[in-house]
Structure 1
Amino acid sequence: MEPIVVEATRDGVVEARHVVHAVAVRDGRVELAAGDPGLVTFLRSSAKPMQALPVVRARPDFDDEQVVLLCASHLGAPEQVAVVRRILADAPATEDELECGPDPTPIEHNCSGKHAGFLALCRAEGWPTPGYRFPEHPCQQAMLREVAEAAEVTPAALAVAIDGCGVPTFALPLERGAHAFARLASLDAGTRVVSAMRSHPDLLRGPVAADVLLIRALEGWVAKGGAEGLFCAASADGLGIALKVVDGAFRPIQPALAHFLSLLGLDTSALGPNEIENSLGEPVGELRVAEPV
């Protein structure tokens, strides 16, 4: 099947097109693909639920809100930052130890929950905290092993680069990313992470984010978006999906996701409309999946 094409229209005129590769995997086998399931791409923030696993194992006392913020790409809302502060207090660690950079301050950075979790893991394991973000640090070596295990590949098979928040990010074929997400609940501490994400989805990002909408719309599903147009999700019965927008935009994810899930026989009506709005909040166009030529 060809990749999904999402068109941005205004008054019926197409002014942009986004190409989206998508794959669904169950038990390590591709069930459905639109485009190239072997497309190699970095997991970016979609890896956060896997990176949370060793933290949760080391700190089983963390509550559901704290576990969600380990996985979050938050918007710096007061209720989100407050949970990050609790992770730091329990680590124990200080804001000055966060190495994610200012956005506008380190604790307001959208990856501060993940970084606070790294500090908590370092404290629990007795590792030094300075430089915890570098690839050679024991913390990031643990993350490399965790992602490789989830995808059922060797650590050496993963391409490693530096993410926007300064820590390593890992590249996988799209189908391996879907496979890793399909396995999330079966991994050690995975049920704890999945349960927390489903209990407090709004803390992951914000109420209209695609991953939050999917978690709310489909019973038992968990999802996490990543930078440069990546989106991974999994059902309670072990189906994993991954989508990648070629141009790195995120706006086509929601219509592409709804279309792909409908091809899998799922009701996606709860994912909502795909309107384009102007700065006044007025609908001025739409995002839609193009009909096959």
Structure 2
Amino acid sequence: MTRGTRTHTPKLKVHLLREGIVESAHQVEATVCDARGRLLSVAGNSETTAFVRSALKPFQSIAVVTTGTLERYELNDKDLAVICSSHQGTVEQARQVFNILWRANIDPSALQCPIPKGYQSSLQHNCSGKHAAMLAICQQRNWPLNTYLKKSSPVQYLILDKIGELLAMPGAELISAYDDCGAPTYSIKLSQMAHLYAQLASGNNLDLERIVRAMTYYPKMIAGEGAFDTELMRLTEGELVSKSGAEGIQCVGRVGQGMGLAIKVIDGSKRAKYATALHLLRSMGWIVPSIVETLAKKFVSLSNYKRLEVIGELSMI
């Protein structure tokens, strides 16, 4: 999938500075690939494996696009956006998830994602859109609804096959585990994450192109007001597609250019991945300085006394 042999370079460092003095530090690895899977640049080790977590959602959603489920239940791009989301459980977002279930004639009680602490319904769980899509596919295919999360479920096999096709490997070879929401997630290399996002952003696949259009046209559905993914996509107006994952995962695709960036913070820090993403997107010329400055006010300058500093650059392969 990659070319060349130099896949291991110095990691990036992210320092938390308190009035300019280092208080904490994080190590970060990052990889950039093109849509053919060729390695373009690296910080750290492109072969590092990690669970892709919620950054996988755009690719899990391929199943709902390719099975005709959207057309069967007259679902639109706003529905597709919330399917790809890690949302904040707002009324608007929960209603959008309910719309998917209502159109597919599925009771919300069929959702097997947990009820978040402090909320009243599984509809408000940040993964409920993904779960609703899995249920809608099962309904459309006459597959059992009550086992949709099991790795042996037909819908999970379907999703795994779609991901395997994009990675040009048998999906069965991927290491799987259950995510916190109860759905399967997969451990893959950073280079594979970057390759997936490069394909997502390439414009060479009509199904992926529809997913990108939904995510970038409805960025508020993907996370929510003030969240990194939402604000990055809103400010770049469709030029970047972005999706976070838990435990320090951040992936970004450059739309129309067929390039993907994957980031993994070794200790799982959320704050470090956002600062790293801005640092790398600026250095690669994927976003203009004014956007970096706007986002840095929240994601780099953490308070009057604290800010983040990213040290290091990607190395070209």
TM-score of the two chains, using structure 1 as the length reference: 0.93
Amino acid at match of 2:59: M
Q: Does residue 31 of the first structure (1) align with residue 31 of the second (2)?
A: no
| Partner Cα separation in structure 2 for residue 238 and residue 210 of structure 1 | 22
Amino acid at match of 1:4: L
Amino acid at match of 2:261: I
User: Which structure 2 residues correspond to residues 21-60 of structure 1 after superposition, within 5 A?
Assistant: 21-26=29-34, 27-57=36-66, 58=68, 59-60=70-71
- Matched with 2:245 is 226
| Partner Cα separation in structure 1 for residue 94 and residue 262 of structure 2 | 29
Q: 125, 131, 143: which one pairs with 1:115?
A: 131
Amino acid at match of 2:102: A
| Partner Cα separation in structure 2 for residue 8 and residue 151 of structure 1 | 36
Q: 253, 259, 277: which one pairs with 2:279?
A: 259
Q: 231, 245, 265: which one pairs with 1:245?
A: 265
| Structure 1 residue 188: Cα displacement | 5.1
- Matched with 1:195 is 213
Which structure 2 segments of 5+ residues have no match? 1-8
Aligned residue for 2:307, secondary structure, equals strand
Aligned residue for 2:270, secondary structure, equals coil
The 8 Å contact of residues 247 and 270 in structure 2, kept in 1 or not, is answered as: yes
**C-alpha deviations, 1:188-244, integer Å up to 9, x for none?**
521111101010101111232222233234342211111111011111210011000
- Matched with 1:280 is none
Evaluate the alpha carbon distance shift between residue 12 and residue 291 of structure 1 in structure 2; reply closer, same or farther with a 3 A threshold.
farther
Aligned residue for 2:271, secondary structure, equals coil
Aligned residue for 1:222, secondary structure, equals strand
Aligned residue for 1:259, secondary structure, equals helix
Amino acid at match of 1:8: L
The 8 Å contact of residues 21 and 35 in structure 1, kept in 2 or not, is answered as: yes
| Partner Cα separation in structure 2 for residue 238 and residue 137 of structure 1 | 32
| Structure 1 residue 122: Cα displacement | 0.5
- Matched with 2:151 is 135
| Structure 1 residue 268: Cα displacement | 4.5
- Matched with 1:97 is 110
The 8 Å contact of residues 243 and 250 in structure 2, kept in 1 or not, is answered as: yes
**C-alpha deviations, 1:87-138, integer Å up to 9, x for none?**
1101121111001121133111110111011111101111010110010000
Give the length in aligned residue pairs.
287
| Partner Cα separation in structure 1 for residue 162 and residue 51 of structure 2 | 15
Amino acid at match of 1:263: S
User: Which structure 2 residues correspond to residues 110-189 of structure 1 after superposition, within 5 A?
Assistant: 110-184=126-200, 185-187=203-205, 189=207
| Partner Cα separation in structure 1 for residue 185 and residue 84 of structure 2 | 14
Amino acid at match of 1:200: Y
Q: Does residue 285 of the first structure (1) align with residue 282 of the second (2)?
A: no
| Partner Cα separation in structure 2 for residue 291 and residue 160 of structure 1 | 32
| Identical columns (%) | 33
| Partner Cα separation in structure 1 for residue 190 and residue 288 of structure 2 | 22
| Partner Cα separation in structure 2 for residue 189 and residue 266 of structure 1 | 24
Aligned residue for 1:15, secondary structure, equals strand
The 8 Å contact of residues 7 and 287 in structure 1, kept in 2 or not, is answered as: yes
TM-score of the two chains, using structure 2 as the length reference: 0.86
| Structure 1 residue 291: Cα displacement | 5.8
The 8 Å contact of residues 160 and 172 in structure 2, kept in 1 or not, is answered as: no
Aligned residue for 2:143, secondary structure, equals coil
| Partner Cα separation in structure 2 for residue 239 and residue 91 of structure 1 | 35
| Structure 1 residue 62: Cα displacement | 1.3
| Partner Cα separation in structure 2 for residue 173 and residue 291 of structure 1 | 21
Aligned residue for 2:112, secondary structure, equals coil
User: Which structure 2 residues correspond to residues 9-88 of structure 1 after superposition, within 5 A?
Assistant: 9-26=17-34, 27-57=36-66, 58=68, 59-60=70-71, 61-88=74-101
Amino acid at match of 2:32: A
- Runs (4+) off by over 4 Å: none
The 8 Å contact of residues 8 and 288 in structure 1, kept in 2 or not, is answered as: yes
Aligned residue for 2:302, secondary structure, equals strand
| Structure 1 residue 157: Cα displacement | 2.5
| Partner Cα separation in structure 2 for residue 171 and residue 255 of structure 1 | 24
Q: 283, 298, 301: which one pairs with 1:275?
A: 301
The 8 Å contact of residues 224 and 230 in structure 2, kept in 1 or not, is answered as: yes
Which structure 1 segments of 5+ residues have no match? 278-282
The 8 Å contact of residues 150 and 187 in structure 1, kept in 2 or not, is answered as: no
| Partner Cα separation in structure 2 for residue 242 and residue 18 of structure 1 | 16
